[in-house]
Amino acid sequence: MGRNNGGNYTNPCLTMHQPWASLLVYGIKRVEGRSWPAPIRGRLWIHAASKVPEPETIKAVEEFYREIYGVNGIKDVKYPENYPISRLLGCVEVVGCIKCEELQNWEELPEGVRLEGQTQFCWLCEKPQRLIIPFEMRGQQGVYNLERKIYEAAVRGLRPVEGPFPVKFPLPDPQDPFSLKPGSLPSRLSTSIASELGTSSSRSNAIAGARGVAAKFSKEVKDPSGTERETEDPISMRTRSKVKDKAQEVVSRVVDEGHSNSVTDNSRYP
């Protein structure tokens, strides 16, 4: 129950759009991208927002993960059979939060995990658990406290999940749960993985497509304090120039739909 959390959080919860919400509690998504740093450590409940994900969105996001898992030789990624909305789905353990460039340059991590870093702040997640039966509830913006009666019902229905390629994010100071924070990694991690994206056109296409479908939720977002901020674009112009025309068409199509995020901050890779 939030023993490592900062602030006044007891059973912190985050509302996310699908398909990203389910991918996180299924252990497929290991990094949650935000434009603001994680205010907590420890258990974070994941709630799916009310927007029904479009088939094109699901396809692009699943292709993104298919590509980055393939980098580490994982060819068989089992995706959720469905992506329920307006439901509490499960939880993960937030063990750290670092900046995008720190994650991309963390050479001790598998390359696929480093490729998940596509936003300003990266929340590092472990130990996914999902509810056997997700149940309906309303979400809120930012990180908020789960109602106690909901928590008491949910905690009994959790089941541990073994993702396709679990990763352990080591803490700089094992005695300090907040030690893995922006600026905490050694400066020797200096070789940017972004410069390597051009070695695979399919990987670049997958990243561009996934970022495109995320863009419709994050053209203009708000952080928990209510401050509006523009979505960050951490990928360099050099990298972007290597994305194929097909990927650019995907990006243009989904951005033109003009949907905006009305639930929470989704400035993410996704």
Is pLDDT of 209 > 60?
yes
pLDDT at 74: 95
pLDDT at 252: 39
Rounded Cα distance, 234 and 74, in Å: 26
CA dihedral 48, 49, 54, 56 (to 10 degrees): -60
pLDDT at 83: 98
Kindly state the average pLDDT of the residues 12-24.
98
Please, what is the average pLDDT of the chain?
A: 79
DSSP of 233-255, one letter per residue? --S-HHHHTTS-HHHHHHHHHHH
Provide the pLDDT confidence category of residue 10 given band limits of 50, 70 and 90: very high
pLDDT at 212: 66
Supply the pTM of this predicted model: 0.76
Cβ-count burial of 168 within 10 angstroms (0-12 exposed, 13-18 middle, 19+ buried)? exposed
Provide the pLDDT confidence category of residue 229 given band limits of 50, 70 and 90: very low
Q: In percent, how much of the chain has pLDDT > 70?
A: 66
Cβ-count burial of 68 within 10 angstroms (0-12 exposed, 13-18 middle, 19+ buried)? buried
pLDDT at 172: 94
Contacts of 118 (CB under 8 A, 6+ apart): 33, 100, 207, 210, 211, 234, 235, 268, 269, 270
Kindly state the average pLDDT of the residues 33-53.
97
Domains of the chain: 12-256 (2.30.130.30)
pLDDT at 5: 65
Provide the pLDDT confidence category of residue 201 given band limits of 50, 70 and 90: low
Provide the pLDDT confidence category of residue 137 given band limits of 50, 70 and 90: very high
Reported as a single tens digit per residue, the pLDDT across 63-107 is: 999 999 999 999 999 999 999 999 999 999 999 999 999 999 999
3-class state of residue 80 by DSSP: coil
Kindly state the average pLDDT of the residues 13-30.
98
Contacts of 122 (CB under 8 A, 6+ apart): 31, 32, 33, 97, 98, 99, 100, 102, 103, 116
